[in-house]
A and B are shown apart, each in its own frame.
Chain A
Amino acid sequence: MLEVKTHSREQMPTATLCEWLTATHRQALPAPVIREASRTMLNVLGTAIGASYSEGVDALIRYSEEHGGTGTTVIPGREEELDALLGATTVGLASHYDDFDDTHLETVIHPGAACLGALLAVDGIEGVDGATALSAFALGCEAQLRIGSAMSPSHYDRGWHITATCGVLGAAVTAGLLLNFDSARLEQAIGIAASQTLGVREAFGTMTKPLHPGKAAANGIFAARLVQSGIVGPDAVLERSNGYFQALTPEVDVLRVTSGLGQSWELLSNTYKPYPCGIVIHPAIDAAVDLAPKIEDSARVRGITLRCHPLVAELTGNPAPVDGLQARFSAIHGVCAGIADGSVGLAQYQDERVRDEHLVMLRSLTVLEVDGSLSRDAAEVVVTLDDGTELKSYIPHARGSAALPLTDEELRAKVDALVRPVLGDRAAELAQAVENLGGAPSLDTLYTAVRPGKGV
């Protein structure tokens, strides 16, 4: 059994973190943090809108309508409005549905989804201004990233879906701060939320994977509501005996939760995916897209070798996906789609495209070689043509990685591509609403920007 040793104030992470979160929420966040929070929010709103008519969102909305789940929560891209908990679930699911949301590379947490769900769905915040909302969103992300860092990598390696197990705590923080909780009440919210954690990786490749951050958002709001109603949960939940760390991770570095609070920000290491699939696949896709212009006819391909970090095989080793969700965890599919199509976006993960005979054939010609000497964001693809020609591309750092982050322009282009099929030519309006959120007197402009209709 894991023993979590706490010797000093610094090692009372739950209370220390909550005191810092509530104190920081009362001040203006540093400019770089505001910028990254805005980029995170823009990206995750884009992915939520992009998936707003997916089968998963449709299933949740059907369920909500059949079971009295309508309300006032805005669902980006949709006309329907749902109650707080189903609304949070739906926003969180949509945000993560295409596996296109933000990623903190060290922990592989996608922090934006659960916090966006909490932000858009928590009720009783009608008077909140944009700066407060952005701060609560940023601090919810920061809290979950710090807690996740303390458990990484052993927690994820055991099989937990860290986006949800930590996301529920981030959502509780976002909801609690929006409800103006003091430190003690925020600690209570985290205490109750910790017992509602969820998510095992067996769900990867099904709609239940994106359901995880959706439920994390809902459970975080629910925990905050319970605190408001006077329900008492455990304090010091992270470090106490029979608490969160003891149950959820074989190894923990408690100090990671609180070290450098205010000086260093995990949120600044958040990254944005250029491709809608598992992030470990990205350098391989970069290599494939790099080779594609050199291959006039992909029917001439006789063999493909992908050399990659061992984690690629562990997480995305499926050689024969049968639908778009499974394909998101198939490095081989990503490479073959990149070679055949020259680009990889949502279209390459449509079920029909995944089942295309030519792609099935290319996948059957592809082998995956793990190489522990490669970094996680590096890969090499070698293509052999029918005349024996070998084409090779080595990518030292994937686009969108910490070493090569998406620029603001690239991020806006990504969001535009996601928003256009749903809301038309309104991505600029959305980007403007997010950029101006810090000075907005309310969230009304943001709500308008994500809803169908004419916009502003």
Chain B
Amino acid sequence: MTTLTSNGIAEFGLRGDPGADVLARGQDLVARSVTRAISGVTTDATRRLLDILEVKDDSPGAYPVGLHEYLSVSDAALVTGFAADSGAAKEPFATRILDAVVAAALAISQYTGARAAEVLTAVVVGSEVGLRLAEGLGAEHRHSSGWDVAGTVGTTAAAVAAGRLVLSEKETFSQALGIAATQGAGLLCSLNTVAGALHVGRSAAIGVEASLLASNGLTGPTTGIEGRRGLAVVIAPHSDLSRAGDRLGGSWLLAETKFAGEVSGNVRSAVTRVVSDDGDARELVATLNAVRAPAHTLGG
């Protein structure tokens, strides 16, 4: 039995090496998540969210998927995640954790200029941690605790994806996980309201911000998940992480998990094209945005 620890996650986040079949799954999952986000950017709720965010023309930032507003990196993640989850029906938690991870990875990779293949790897390792952590927090937490797992686990999962793309030291990575884990939240009662989509969006934004804050020297706990007063025990008193780390990097829960949602053929083609051309994240997002809005000329 291997306990899922912040240190172990950091090691996996930095060096996890998914095989071709897992990456192919990741490519499909990114296409599905982006399809949801592009569908969601036209909603009234997403427009209202955008209205209160500041456009950042004069500093490094990112585009939310499907939009031409240039925002801070964390706000771009927020909007993409929010849009993906803004449909009337809430998808199963695994899908919503994935949406937070994809939103974080697409935003921060525009900032770092990562290649599309690196984005896929980040999505895969982040989602894998999210699924394992959700499993470790237990059925009671997932179904009857009053918490929305996409919000409680999503921050950590998104931080793993973001950390993969921006961090290089294990200690800093563990601290980024601690900064993200302590912000895990999201009340189940909100899912009946428009504000429920914020859980996915804020998970993505927190994951991005935690990695960037840690890289700027803000310290956090290196046992923020499994510690005596860490996320797992506090938010899910009956959690058991003792097996959640089994064969981390060797076997993939991601490969066994069913994710909901349709995928747009155009989106799938765009993702496939950029990945096979070894394009970078900016090209990927620009291509995806062109799928949604061919008239827009996207910079960056």
Interface size on A, residues (CB 8 A): 57
On whether the beta carbons of B48 and A201 are closer than 8 Å, the reply is no
Q: How far is the CB of A118 from chain B (nearest CB, A)?
A: 15
Residue numbers in A under 8 Å from B213 (CB-CB): 59-60, 63, 211
On whether the beta carbons of B221 and A234 are closer than 8 Å, the reply is no
* A183-208 Cβ-contact flags toward B at 8 Å (1 or 0): 00000000110111111111111111
Known contacts A67-B60, A192-B195, A242-B189, A225 near B52 by CB under 8 Å: yes
Q: How far is the CB of B71 from chain A (nearest CB, A)?
A: 9
* Contact of A241 with B by CB under 8 A: yes
On whether the beta carbons of B61 and A68 are closer than 8 Å, the reply is yes
Residue numbers in A under 8 Å from B188 (CB-CB): 242, 247
Residue numbers in B under 8 Å from A215 (CB-CB): 183
Residue numbers in B under 8 Å from A1 (CB-CB): 144-146
* Contact of B249 with A by CB under 8 A: no
On whether the beta carbons of A231 and B189 are closer than 8 Å, the reply is no
Q: How far is the CB of A125 from chain B (nearest CB, A)?
A: 15
* Contact of B242 with A by CB under 8 A: no
On whether the beta carbons of B195 and A202 are closer than 8 Å, the reply is no
On whether the beta carbons of A202 and B198 are closer than 8 Å, the reply is no
* Contact of A229 with B by CB under 8 A: yes
Interface pick from B25-33, B34-42, B231-239, B281-289: B231-239
What residue in chain A is nearest B191 (Cβ atoms)? A242
* Contact of B168 with A by CB under 8 A: no
Interface pick from B12-20, B117-125, B173-181: B173-181
Q: How far is the CB of B141 from chain A (nearest CB, A)?
A: 10
Residue numbers in B under 8 Å from A203 (CB-CB): 178, 182, 220-221, 224
What separation, in Å, do the CA atoms of A415 and B72 have in the docked complex? 36
* Contact of A243 with B by CB under 8 A: yes
On whether the beta carbons of A69 and B72 are closer than 8 Å, the reply is yes
* Contact of A233 with B by CB under 8 A: yes
On whether the beta carbons of B48 and A231 are closer than 8 Å, the reply is yes
* Contact of B63 with A by CB under 8 A: no
On whether the beta carbons of A231 and B195 are closer than 8 Å, the reply is yes
On whether the beta carbons of B217 and A62 are closer than 8 Å, the reply is yes
On whether the beta carbons of B182 and A195 are closer than 8 Å, the reply is no
Residue numbers in B under 8 Å from A230 (CB-CB): 48
What separation, in Å, do the CA atoms of A102 and B227 have in the docked complex? 28
Residues on A close to B: CB < 8 A? 1, 55-56, 58-60, 62-63, 66-69, 71, 83, 158-161, 191-192, 194-208, 211-212, 215, 222, 225-226, 228-234, 237, 240-244, 246-247, 325
Query: Assuming A68-B56, A202-B234, what are 19 further A-B pairs, CB within 8 angstroms?
Result: A59-B217, A59-B218, A63-B218, A66-B212, A66-B216, A67-B60, A68-B54, A159-B228, A198-B182, A200-B182, A203-B178, A203-B224, A206-B220, A226-B49, A229-B49, A234-B189, A240-B189, A247-B187, A247-B188
Residues on B close to A: CB < 8 A? 45, 48-49, 51-52, 54, 56, 58-61, 72-74, 144-148, 151, 175, 178-179, 181-190, 192-196, 198-199, 202, 212-213, 216-221, 223-224, 227-231, 233-235, 237
